[in-house]
Chain A
Amino acid sequence: MKYKVPIGPIHPALKEPIMITCEVQGEEITGVDVTASQNHRGVEWIGMHRNNPVQSIYLSERICGICNLCHPACLVLAVEEIAGIEVPERAQYIRVIEAELERIHSHLLWAGVAAHELGFDTLLHYTWQVREKVMDILELVNGNRVTKAIMMYGGVRRDITDDLKPKMMEMLTYYRGLFSRMAQLFLEDKTIKMRTRNIGILTKEDAYQLQAVGPTVRASGVPKDVRQDVAYFAYPDFEIKAVTPDQLTGTVVGDTYDRIVVRLLEVKQSLDIIEQALDEMPPGDIASEEKIPKLLAQIKKAEGEAIGRHEAPRGEDIHYVKLKKGLDTLYTWKVRAPTYSNIMAWRPMLMHHQIADIPIVAASIDPCMSCTNRVITAGSSGEAILGAEELHRLSVEKTRRMTP
């Protein structure tokens, strides 16, 4: 006898509204269906109809509150490419530092949530206490704990001055000192190992086929990292190599445990990047154009399309932007957040595991619904699934319509 277990959209185990329907036979999961869109707020529409491009930076930060640098980063990268806006070298370094600070805070946050999903609340509290250190640095640099408001076309809005450096170095020493303890707590603990080893396996083939991104795909042994593969910001100056779990454990299993390993190693990698960036940051301006009306005028004159890519803590984030001459808003703005690619991996991960494994496996891709929910079907009655045949029929009909 098969049953359907609905989880969500509002459920104490979920931090965000999403609907997961699992088909179970006894304790075993035999089918998984995901319904997103509860968190759709029409961000792209606002960016294309109401806001000017500078206001859209502010809006893009509110796509996701956790990785609130990656969306503005992609947007400014795309618009800068279209409008041909130069970015000073120092600003590129500050962007790198901010992006890596975000990665540290996001990965620590995730580690805490993962511990909570396993019922290990002491570790949740410990990790979140440790995380407050990076939150203090973010507040020191940006003036706010969560949203950073640092990105601007042609540079950044605030400088990292020399008097901030000692505090940041202190943070680096603090986290480096903690690394072995964190590794011991997360990787050697018997309970965590039991609950995560060989649970939620995503094979390398599945990872390729499902186009997963970020730590999810790297844990399956695919060395894919935008910071390594694409030259943007000041990243070409750093020797960044995609983190795969075999660097620490010697093997790649692609399970939940490996995803913990990858995130831990990435925190360490981020610390190294921040240290190098602080050392090598060149002097100079932090923005090529400080007057916003002038910047807006330049963007208004621009025409073309571009894609901005950035390695967010959860994986590759992409923004597609099209500008039209004389238009006050963005002509087209399309956001493809990392969770959108990773969410499909839930199915192979969850199949044939137990109901009790759903929370930790679901959390292991670090899902972010507020990033993902870009589409909504409004006012429809019932579902419509278009198969290959149906699509072919529609295509043939269109050809007939267009050729009288």
Chain B
Amino acid sequence: MFHVNSGSCNGCDIEIVAALTPRYDVERFGIKLVGSPRHADVIAFTGPVTSDLADKVKRVYEQIPDPKVVLVVGSCGISGGVFHESYHLAGPLNKLIPEATCVYVPGCPPRPEAIIDGVVKAWKHLEEVSQ
């Protein structure tokens, strides 16, 4: 999994880190955060995607090898959330990358359990696709 902050308020980001640390410890399930998009199967976006980052978000997405799944963590990546109607948003994410397969994790911010559930759904989808 590769994580990109696309203009998030950090709320979801700290819950993703919380999911990695001992209380939730996702590595025991085989979920690992990687340092490069080229090593990832799943890309997690947090935040409503600001105009500044639109191009970067697309470029990072394109760097991930197929098959891939986008994990949209938090309400603002799904619909713009509390920031909808703002003048500086390129999102929500499915508008920016319409061809992407998305798993949505709603919440502001979602709990670590919900994020893990989202990753498992993405994982199952990847298994189905590759068979």
Contacts and interface: CB of A to CB of B under 8 A. Distances in A.
Interface of A: 9-10, 12, 15-17, 37-43, 45-46, 50, 58-59, 62-66, 68, 109, 112, 124-126, 128-129, 132, 135, 145-147, 368, 370, 376, 378
A43 B85 CA distance: 11
Given A10-B56, A128-B21, A147-B108, A370 B10 contact: yes
Given A62-B82, A145-B15, A146-B15, A42 B88 contact: yes
A65 B109 contact: yes
Nearest to B13: A15
B22 interface: yes
B120 interface: no
Interface in B78-113: 81-83, 85-89, 108-109, 111
B65 interface: no
Please indicate which of the listed interface residues A46, A50, A65, A125 has the most CB atoms of chain B within 10 Å of its own CB: A65
25 contacts: A9-B53, A10-B56, A10-B60, A12-B36, A37-B52, A39-B5, A41-B7, A41-B88, A43-B83, A43-B86, A46-B85, A62-B76, A62-B82, A65-B8, A112-B17, A112-B21, A128-B17, A128-B18, A128-B21, A128-B22, A145-B109, A146-B11, A146-B15, A147-B108, A370-B9
Contacts of B10: 15-16, 64-66, 368, 370
B58 to A, nearest CB: 11
A176 B56 CA distance: 44
Given A68-B11, A129-B23, A62 B56 contact: no
Nearest to B57: A10
Please indicate which of the listed interface residues A40, A45, A46, A63 has the most CB atoms of chain B within 10 Å of its own CB: A40
Contact of A62 (B11, B21, B53): B11
